[in-house]
Structure 1
Amino acid sequence: MLGWGVVAGPFYLVVGLILAVTREGFDFSRHPLSVLMLGDGGWMQITNLALSGAMVLVAGIGLARAGARGAGIAVGIYGGAMILSAVFPPDPMPGFPPGQEGATEPGTSGILHLAFGGIGFVALAVGAFLLGRWFARRGDRPFSVLSLVAGIVVLVGFLGGVALGPAGMALLWLAVVAGFAWLAAASVRVYGTVPHPDTGRHAA
Structure 2
Amino acid sequence: MTTAHTATAHTGTDAARACDRETSITRSLLGYGVIAGPVYVVVSLTEALTRDGFDLTRHAWSLLANGDLGWIHIVNFVLAGAMTMTFAAGLRRAHGGGWAPRLLAVYGLSLLAAGAFRADPAGGFPRGVPAGEVSWHGIAHLASGGIGFACLVAACFVLARRFARRGRAAWAWGSRATGALFAAGFLAVASGAGSAAGAAWANLAFTGAVVLGWAWISAVAVHAYRNA
* Structure 2 length-normalised TM: 0.81
From 121, 129, 138, the equivalent of 1:92 is: 121
Contact 1:63–1:69 (8 Å) recurs in 2: no
From 167, 183, 190, the equivalent of 2:224 is: 190
1: CA distance, partners of 2:87 / 2:168 = 20
Matched with 2:4 is none
Contact 1:37–1:46 (8 Å) recurs in 2: yes
Matched with 2:169 is 141
Matched with 2:213 is 179
State whether structure 2 residue 104 is matched by structure 1 residue 75.
Answer: yes
1: CA distance, partners of 2:49 / 2:93 = 39
* Structure 1 length-normalised TM: 0.90
- Which residue identity does 1:93 align to in structure 2? A
Q: SS of 1:82's equivalent? A: helix
Q: SS of 2:192's equivalent? A: helix
Higher Rg = 2
User: What's the RMSD between the two structures over aligned residues?
Assistant: 1.3
CA drift at 1:20: 1.7
Matched with 2:189 is 161
Alignment of 1:24-173 (within 5 A): 24-67=52-95, 69-101=98-130, 103-164=131-192, 166-167=199-200, 168-173=202-207
1: CA distance, partners of 2:94 / 2:103 = 14
CA drift at 1:185: 0.8
Q: SS of 2:132's equivalent? A: coil
Structure 1 alignment gaps of length 5 or more: 196-204
- Which residue identity does 2:81 align to in structure 1? G
CA drift at 1:104: 2.1
CA drift at 1:150: 0.6
Contact 1:94–1:100 (8 Å) recurs in 2: no
Structure 2 alignment gaps of length 5 or more: 1-28, 194-198
Alignment of 1:10-25 (within 5 A): 10-25=38-53
Percent identity between the two aligned chains: 42
CA drift at 1:42: 0.7
CA drift at 1:192: 2.1
CA drift at 1:34: 1.0
Contact 1:125–1:152 (8 Å) recurs in 2: yes
2: CA distance, partners of 1:170 / 1:11 = 20
1: CA distance, partners of 2:98 / 2:35 = 21
Q: SS of 1:90's equivalent? A: coil
Dislocated runs of 4+, deviation >6 Å: none
